[in-house]
Structure 1
């Protein structure tokens, strides 16, 4: 009689299906790439066929692998419910969820949403990774990506979260000392604060995509928080997310009736990740935070 497949190996396969890369799975599970590869080979032998095949987007499930993952999800759900019972708090959410997000949106919306979720589910661990980029084609070892702008997604699902606005801002001191442009063409006489164009993956966030004139000087940074500080200290006019500065002291709007940019925010994940109860809970928490603060995004 053929031995039943190892539940541990099935759960490893489930994690590979979600993260797409052995290295990311090994890091998540606290083991090595070699061990993950060995356990998947052992599972393939037990099941009598291959569960994974390599693609340009990472490891993808075969038909047999999809059937094995369905069984692994049942095991995961049962173990999660048992963990909640043992903890005597009714909490079925446990494990680690990795999320990549632009740093500004992550700090303003994801952090408070996830802190609230952890209070309700103390067995849940969260890793929030700052990344301002297009949706990864191999999911980059995360359960969920939050990305901005137009999407080109393969082997994943995209969930619309919200729109938000980029607008031009300066500091009150800069406005007093240099004055503010009367027209968009006058922007060429000012300093401009923006992302490092050579390192920027999301073109819609940079100065070049705005069609504004080339400024007198520029201050470029990969961090939106560095950009905010540069604008606040008078480096020039910045193209900033409205939700990070509107109504806050230290910033004045520049040509608010003449220029603004609206961008969408998406959550992107593999289908296997979206069936995970912790990932679903994270998504609900993020959407609740967005819904409760929609006026900040639309303001």
Structure 2
């Protein structure tokens, strides 16, 4: 058989599945404990065996091609089979078992999603949880997760979107920073300060960055891809930060800045597969028949 057409490696298929979930090779490498170069090399090897491109680069990160979507379906079958085998080996008697996979923005994942899933797992010990932290917009072609929690507006035809609440961003600074540099009195005063926010060049949800705020350009900036690094930078006195209110409100050392002049409120949505929503709607409509 031609080497170019050998069956692809299951490991490479599972790597592609992780790329489909996270969208960036660096994030995949961190999740899998390897390097960007290794991820790239394995994807190239997979595409060589499949005879075509599995991924296309977009402003939102890597997206699946039609061939990639087919390959991911095979990867999901492999993953499901491994999960079923794990349940058999564990002699699971709980009908709620297997892997629950959720993609979510970082801070919300830690503060809201994680506690909810810990409680779920405590009630059903045979459930395994996989949380993928990814601050990105919703995709038409995202695959391999049961639920995707995103911040910002969504516009997809392949899934149902459920509004969970609002992600409120406000300006905060450390008390020590304000003692040294003074409290801004109006938005224009921010031009004389350092601003803490996401790395603009790597940000896929533009509403979370400084550029989209309409605030004046700061004197300097401290940017990080992790919201936890941003919170710590503000606490340590790096500057005025645009931070999720639920992560810092009421915490010692964090002082609201311009609370009456600036606030950003974004929807928090959960995206679920359209097929699940369709079945739920059909079952709800037929409750009388189902119960008879």
TM-score band, normalised by the shorter chain? Answer: 0.5 to 0.7
In the alignment, does 2:267 pair up with 1:264? yes
| Aligned position for 1:175 | 178
Deviations 1:213-233 (A, max 9, x none): 000000011100000011011
Once residues 188 and 141 of structure 2 are traced to their aligned partners in structure 1, the CA distance between those partners, rounded to angstroms, is: 41
Deviations 1:217-269 (A, max 9, x none): 00011100000011011110000000000001120000101110111001112
Counterpart among 122, 127, 131 of residue 119 in structure 1: 122
Once residues 109 and 120 of structure 2 are traced to their aligned partners in structure 1, the CA distance between those partners, rounded to angstroms, is: 15
Aligned residues: 213
8 A Cα contact 1:134 1:148, kept in partner = yes
Relative distance call for 1:56 and 1:239 in structure 2 (3 A) is farther
| Aligned position for 2:224 | 221
Q: Deviation at 1:57?
A: 9.1
Relative distance call for 1:146 and 1:173 in structure 2 (3 A) is same
Q: Deviation at 1:23?
A: 4.5
In the alignment, does 2:166 pair up with 1:139? no
| Aligned position for 2:69 | 58
Counterpart among 244, 247, 250 of residue 247 in structure 1: 250
The equivalences for 1:24-39 within 5 A come to 24=17
Relative distance call for 1:173 and 1:228 in structure 2 (3 A) is same
Structure 2 SS opposite 1:226 = helix
Structure 2 SS opposite 1:154 = coil
Relative distance call for 1:219 and 1:23 in structure 2 (3 A) is closer
In the alignment, does 2:167 pair up with 1:164? yes
Higher relative contact order (CA 8 A, sep 6+): 1
Structure 2: tracts of 5 or more residues without a match:
1-13, 22-45, 51-64, 71-80, 281-292
Once residues 185 and 57 of structure 1 are traced to their aligned partners in structure 2, the CA distance between those partners, rounded to angstroms, is: 48
Moved over 6 A (4+): none
Relative distance call for 1:269 and 1:58 in structure 2 (3 A) is farther
TM-score scaled to structure 2, two decimals?
0.65
Q: Deviation at 1:273?
A: 5.3
Deviations 1:95-143 (A, max 9, x none): 1111111110000001100000000111111100110000122114222
Structure 2 SS opposite 1:141 = coil
